[in-house]
Amino acid sequence: ELRYPPRLNAARALLDDRVAAGDGGRRCLVDDRGSWTYAELRDRADRIAEVLRADGVVPGNRVLLRAANNPMLVAEWFAVLKLGAVAVTTMPLLRARELVKVIEKARISHAICDARLEPDLRAAQKDAPALARILIANSEAADGLEARMAAASGRFETVDTAADDVALIAFTSGTTGEPKGCMHFHRDILAIADTFSRHVLQPSPDDLFCGSPPIAFTFGLGGLVIFPLAAGAATLLLESAGPEALMQAIERHRATVCFTAPTAYRAMAALKGRYDISSLRKGVSAGEALPLATRTLVGQAFGLELIDGIGATEMLHIFISAAGDAIRPGATGKPVPGFRAAILDDEGRELPAGEVGRLAVKGPVGCRYLDDPRQSTYVQHGWNVTGDSYLMDADGYFWFQARSDDMIISAGYNISGPEVEQAVLDHPAVAECAVVASPDEERTFIVKAFVVLKAGESPSEPLAKAIQAHVKAEIAPYKYPRAIEFVPTLPRTQTGKLQRYRLRQQELERAAKS
Ligand code: 3UK
């Protein structure tokens, strides 16, 4: 069991203490323009904290942060924690209407906003008057963040918060419906480093982390800020990190640890040979299930055995995973040391090994929705119930089946959409795939696959037939997609997750019309 002192500030633990221990001169944040040491990051965070305090921020206030992944965003995040305030980092792509919801829900009073994202936040402010003050970063203005930092004294005493004071509110990415705000404590920040990172990832101080998830997504916050700093390592921050830009940056900076989603690894494997990414030692895949075909492709392309891990905004980071010899390809892994996991039936009873049910976890972090009566849907019988169907095998490995909403019932059979996707993805012409239920007179629903073809392939009836035959040869034939539609792209959230519900919706509407 993890024990933390009752008074604890995560910014002090990760940053002030590291500098005090003599590591101030070590490289910490890297981007294409240069790098900051730990001492430089601390100095900038102190100056920002001083500016925010002068603007009236007190412990407990919620501060909105708007920027792409860059060193200044990290300094702002630490500044908010140092003040004992609450960091609410938002996806850079959010538009005014979505920002109004976040501001109202989290009762935001102050914001720091990159100049490039200012117009949407100003538009939001008109409809969300609670937001009293916006500081503009990346600006030459006399009242901009940089000018005010330069005028600050550079001395700031980190606020002595309680270990269970709220440090951040993270909004879920919403593969369905409304985003929900998840509160996490100062100790939770250290807990994810002391569980997944320490026991599964096992980074060294010489590592250079990199990846694509926005810091506003807790996958990115952990992988690109908390884990590298907790290890005394460095992190490479990229404002835009598509698969090609990411590979280019890995080559250029010789990055060693990468965090991104399965689709991005698949796209990187397709670009193999164009960039030398042999510096990579470890690749963490999360956000969606890792198809076996993708694991194999990445292994062949780069000799890299991916570390799959399931995490959630509600749980802050990854709670089931495996690395190295413990990897069982196809399974997500075992509960990360510090966590317990179980498969529950609809009444909350633990199911025996081999049966499909609802994934439930408990550990040092857990779900606390902000001001939301739907709490009870995630926290049940003392477990965090994630909304995924899983199976645990006799050896205690956890196997993803589907998001509970992505199970397809066709002619009485229970079919996992993602399982069919894996089989489709295994066909050499297929780049991306989404499988959903489509209404059908005879079978109530049929399995339908939306397929994005690889460059150079073109849609045809024979190709559709070949893909169907391929699936029938790989998995139980009754699961094969009776309908295939070739599409140029698939709907995804800003965190890169497939939005199968939109395709499902589209199919329902189409059926209603016909
Ligand atoms: C799905 C996975 C199978 C699963 C996240 C790592 O994805 C993250 O958080 P979100 O709140 O979504 C949570 C849901 O995503 N999922 C994530 N990883 C996997 N399904 N295998 C996986 N490896 O449905 C889960 O309930 O957006 C991931 C770290 C921090 C995160 N916030």
Q: How many CB atoms lie within 10 A of CB 272?
A: 14
pLDDT of residue 175: 53
Nearest atom within ligand 1 for CA of residue 321: 23
User: From atom 10 of ligand 1, which residue's Cα is the shortest distance away?
Assistant: 312
The preferred substitution site among 288, 399, 404 for testing ligand 1, maximizing ligand atoms within 8 Å of CB, is: 288
Rounded to the nearest whole angstrom, what is the distance from the C-alpha of residue 311 to the centroid of ligand 1?
A: 4
With a 6 Å cutoff on the Cβ, whether 403 touches ligand 1 is: yes
The preferred substitution site among 176, 195, 313 for testing ligand 1, maximizing ligand atoms within 8 Å of CB, is: 313
Rounded to the nearest whole angstrom, what is the distance from the C-alpha of residue 480 to the centroid of ligand 1?
A: 26
pLDDT of residue 411: 75
- 62, 85 Cβ separation under 8 angstroms: yes
pLDDT of residue 476: 84
With a 6 Å cutoff on the Cβ, whether 175 touches ligand 1 is: no
pLDDT of residue 123: 96
3-class DSSP state for residue 318?
strand
- With CA atoms as reference, report the closest residue to 158 among 329, 9, 25, 376: 9
Distance CA 330, CA 475 (A): 14
Domain ranges for the chain: 10-204, 411-513
With a 6 Å cutoff on the Cβ, whether 174 touches ligand 1 is: no
pLDDT of residue 185: 98
CATH code, residues 10-204 = 3.40.50.980
User: From atom 7 of ligand 1, which residue's Cα is the shortest distance away?
Assistant: 287
Distance CA 12, CA 493 (A): 34
Residues 6+ apart with CB under 8 A from 97: 124
Residue with token string 């501001």? 103
With a 6 Å cutoff on the Cβ, whether 219 touches ligand 1 is: yes
Paired with 184 in beta bridges are: 168
User: From atom 2 of ligand 1, which residue's Cα is the shortest distance away?
Assistant: 288
Distance CA 149, CA 142 (A): 11
With a 6 Å cutoff on the Cβ, whether 312 touches ligand 1 is: yes
CA atoms within 13 A on the CB side of 368: 13
Rounded to the nearest whole angstrom, what is the distance from the C-alpha of residue 141 to the centroid of ligand 1?
A: 40
pLDDT of residue 2: 85
Give the tens place of pLDDT for each residue, 207-257.
Answer: 999 999 999 999 999 999 999 999 999 999 999 999 999 999 999 999 999
Rounded to the nearest whole angstrom, what is the distance from the C-alpha of residue 26 to the centroid of ligand 1?
A: 32
With a 6 Å cutoff on the Cβ, whether 180 touches ligand 1 is: no
The gap from C-alpha 105 to its chain's centroid, in whole angstroms, comes to 21
DSSP string, 358-401: EEEEESS----BSS-TTHHHHEETTEEEEEEEEEE-TTS-EEEE
- 213, 259 Cβ separation under 8 angstroms: yes
- With CA atoms as reference, report the closest residue to 159 among 121, 137, 186: 186
With a 6 Å cutoff on the Cβ, whether 320 touches ligand 1 is: no
With a 6 Å cutoff on the Cβ, whether 81 touches ligand 1 is: no
**Whole-number Cα distances in Å, 147 to 47, 49, 81, 198, 449:** 11, 14, 22, 39, 54
pLDDT of residue 374: 58
Rounded to the nearest whole angstrom, what is the distance from the C-alpha of residue 352 to the centroid of ligand 1?
A: 24
With a 6 Å cutoff on the Cβ, whether 406 touches ligand 1 is: no
Nearest atom within ligand 1 for CA of residue 172: 11
Distance CA 72, CA 82 (A): 15
Distance CA 303, CA 319 (A): 25
pLDDT of residue 82: 98
Dihedral of the CA atoms 242, 259, 96, 121 (nearest 10)?
-100
Distance CA 16, CA 21 (A): 9
pLDDT tens per residue across all 514 residues of the chain: 789 999 999 999 999 999 999 999 999 999 999 999 999 999 999 999 999 999 999 999 999 999 999 999 999 999 999 999 999 999 898 889 889 999 999 999 999 999 999 999 999 999 999 999 999 999 999 999 999 999 999 999 999 999 999 999 999 866 555 778 999 999 999 999 999 999 999 999 999 999 999 999 999 999 999 999 999 999 999 999 999 999 999 999 999 999 999 999 999 999 999 999 999 999 999 999 999 999 999 999 999 999 999 999 999 999 999 999 999 999 999 999 999 999 999 889 999 999 999 999 999 999 999 976 656 678 888 899 999 999 999 999 999 998 887 888 887 777 888 889 999 999 999 999 999 999 988 888 899 999 999 999 999 999 999 999 999 988 888 899 999 999 999 999 877 888 998 999 999 998 888 7
Angle between helices 262-270 and 292-302 (to 10 degrees): 40
Q: What angle do CA 67, 68, 72 make, to 5 degrees?
A: 65
With a 6 Å cutoff on the Cβ, whether 318 touches ligand 1 is: yes
User: From atom 25 of ligand 1, which residue's Cα is the shortest distance away?
Assistant: 312
With a 6 Å cutoff on the Cβ, whether 226 touches ligand 1 is: no
| 155-184 b/e (C-beta count within 10 Å ≥ 16 → b) | ebebbebebebbbbbbbbbbbeeebbbbbb
Give the tens place of pLDDT for each residue, 340-394.
Answer: 999 999 889 999 999 999 999 999 999 999 976 656 678 888 899 999 999 999 9
Residues 6+ apart with CB under 8 A from 39: 19, 24, 25
- 126, 104 Cβ separation under 8 angstroms: no
Rounded to the nearest whole angstrom, what is the distance from the C-alpha of residue 341 to the centroid of ligand 1?
A: 15
Rounded to the nearest whole angstrom, what is the distance from the C-alpha of residue 288 to the centroid of ligand 1?
A: 6
- 114, 94 Cβ separation under 8 angstroms: no
Has domain 411-513 been given CATH number 3.30.450.20? Answer: no
The preferred substitution site among 310, 332, 389 for testing ligand 1, maximizing ligand atoms within 8 Å of CB, is: 310
With a 6 Å cutoff on the Cβ, whether 507 touches ligand 1 is: no
Cα Rg for the chain, rounded, in angstroms? 23
- With CA atoms as reference, report the closest residue to 118 among 148, 101, 139: 139
3-class DSSP state for residue 113?
strand
CA atoms within 13 A on the CB side of 114: 18
Residues 6+ apart with CB under 8 A from 478: 410, 411, 413, 415
